[in-house]
Amino acid sequence: MRKIGLNIVALSHSVSQSHNYAVVLGEDEGNRRLPIVIGSFEAQAIAVAMENMSPSRPLTHDLFKNAMETFEIELKEVIINNLLDGIFYARLICNKGDEVIEIDSRTSDALALAVRFDCPIYTYEFVLDAAGIVLEEGEEEDGEYYDSEESEEELSVPVKGASLSSYSVDDLKKMLDEVLSEENYERAAEIRDELNKRQQGS
């Protein structure tokens, strides 16, 4: 089957599942989006890597990456290879010397590792046909997404930084230091997004 390249285009709170997040994957050469609901821990793991943060102690996915590198196993690609009963399935395609190793994985864990290894993410046409959303021309990337399923396909309106606009830049920088010391990387990512928005607007 032909593989379709994907990249992470958004990470936000899930409106329908308050304690979960939604990661949105965009088609490399197209306008379809694949929304997947993930847990808060996995969202934190993805956000930390995407924001190039350096935790004082390695997170679980950092530990797994370090172990793979110690044993000279390289993650070459991640494939979201199936969708059954509303649940996405993924595989890690690894190289150890000349040997190719395939490992089953939860999709959220696979994405957290893909960001750390900076490796490509793929899926198949039938997965996009079943769960993909077509982004209409002119529609903003951070707009509202809809899906008919009620499981891992549910998505939300991003709300990152919504409660931070009333703080000054100095206050935001102090908050960023505090949440980093507390290892609250989800909040740190939101604060950093708000600071970046202020810098771009100045």
Q: Can you tell me the distance from the alpha carbon of 189 to that of 172, in angstroms, rounded to the nearest whole number?
A: 12
For the chain, what is the mean pLDDT?
80
Give 38 or 124, the one with higher predicted confidence: 124
CB neighbour class for 199 (10 Å; exposed up to 12, middle 13-18, buried from 19) = exposed
Q: Which of 19-28, 48-57, 94-103 has the highest mean pLDDT?
A: 94-103
For the cut 70, the answer to whether the pLDDT of residue 123 exceeds it is yes
As a whole number, mean pLDDT of residues 31-46 equals 88
| Percentage of the residues of the chain whose pLDDT score is greater than 90 | 42
CATH no. for 3-134: 3.10.690.10
Q: Can you tell me the distance from the alpha carbon of 38 to that of 178, in angstroms, rounded to the nearest whole number?
A: 26
Q: Model pTM?
A: 0.68
